[in-house]
Amino acid sequence: MDVISVIRTKRDRGELSPEQIDWVIDAYTRGEVADEQMSSLAMAILLNGMNRTEIARWTAAMIASGERMNFDALSRPTADKHSTGGVGDKITLPLAPLVAACGAAVPQLSGRGLGHTGGTLDKLESIPGWRALLSNEEMLHVLDTTGAVICAAGDGLAPADKKLYALRDVTGTVEAIPLIASSIMSKKIAEGTGSLVLDVKVGSGAFMKNLDDARELASTMVALGTDSGVRTVALLTDMSTPLGLTAGNALEVRESVEVLAGGGPADVVELTLALAREMLDAAGVKDADPAKALADGSAMDVWRRMISAQGGDPDAELPVARERHVVTAPASGVLTRLDAYDIGIAAWRLGAGRARKEDPVQAGAGVELHAKPGDRVTAGQPLLTLHTDTPEKFDYALAPLASAYDIAPAGTDFTPSPIVLDRLA
């Protein structure tokens, strides 16, 4: 086979054969297919799609590119969660220790930022000493001793996905539903978790902009998981507005610790608890109350052990950006819209994300929100604070924020969207 014929098949809206899929994934993993060739194929998939047979085979080929893990030796059932990516989505940070505190083991393989969405590993790496890269033995040890681990997928786990994931980030192909589904599910199935809860984001700040696309992605992933023997559930959740009051790396870690301490923004707490209940139910853990585990400090205890076990100092001061810029409300009234995508782009431009897969991120960069839709604001009050180490980026980051919010006259009725929009199983 040759890669040009594979690209042409999908370019011309044909169906890739099982042999073509197996070959191109294997050849790309080995370096026989170049990045520019795979990016061309990824763009053809974005534009022309894949059917269920192709997606299933693509996912199987990604899994077959590496090893598979097994957690049968653990004394408790395993449950994992995956978010399709959003702005201010720090839910994994409080969720993993919370579910562990309630009796399930959480082997959370996470990723780095994709486009305007933040990455869990980028956030946690703002904690001094914390390590994302663990060997399989280290991962199992942390999981066995603390109940939860958040780390990068090892080199041996779906290595084809690791290469393609980074390539999609910088070639405008992140939004391809077949590639999203196969990327997520190849890692999760190879990881060996017994159950999986998917948080499929919907809205301006998500890769899925409408409910129909989100349902298609969610149903595709639920089917892939179920067919592979992994109990899989999906929640469709709102991402028209950023989650919580921060978008950035260290900024979101601080907010996550507030949630674990029994505080934090109401929307972050609500979604954390909703996902925790789904994970515990999928894992077969009964009679556990995640709200109680937040309130009594047991989730915080697991967080501290988990961070320490991966080399981090849970008591260390988190990085703070050297420069700030405050955006004030231009009028008094009710904030009725705060666009997640625009906030995400601003945070990315400030240094919280990357334009190339080799780029570093700034730990302290991001956007702090001082109001959410439904809140009353007064002209001149702080609406947003921008954080960065490179102040020359302020003008670039301010551009998308000019149209990122709406303020209606005082007394305007406004009802925020619910966090959880639908459930698929």
- Catalytic residue positions, numbered: 82, 161, 168, 183, 187
The torsion angles phi and psi of 217, rounded to 5 degrees, stand at -65, -45
Distance CA 296, CA 165 (A): 39
Cβ–Cβ contacts within 10 Å for residue 298, how many? 17
Question: In the beta sheet, which residues pair with residue 80?
Answer: 196
End-to-end CA distance of the chain: 39
Half-sphere exposure of 409 (CA within 13 A, CB side): 1
Distance CA 258, CA 210 (A): 31
Taking phi first (over 0 means left), then psi (-120 to 50 degrees means alpha), and beta for anything else, what does residue 136 get? Answer: alpha
Residue 100: name the closest of 311, 305, 256 by CA. 305
Taking phi first (over 0 means left), then psi (-120 to 50 degrees means alpha), and beta for anything else, what does residue 185 get? Answer: alpha
Distance CA 15, CA 17 (A): 6
Question: In the beta sheet, which residues pair with residue 190?
Answer: none
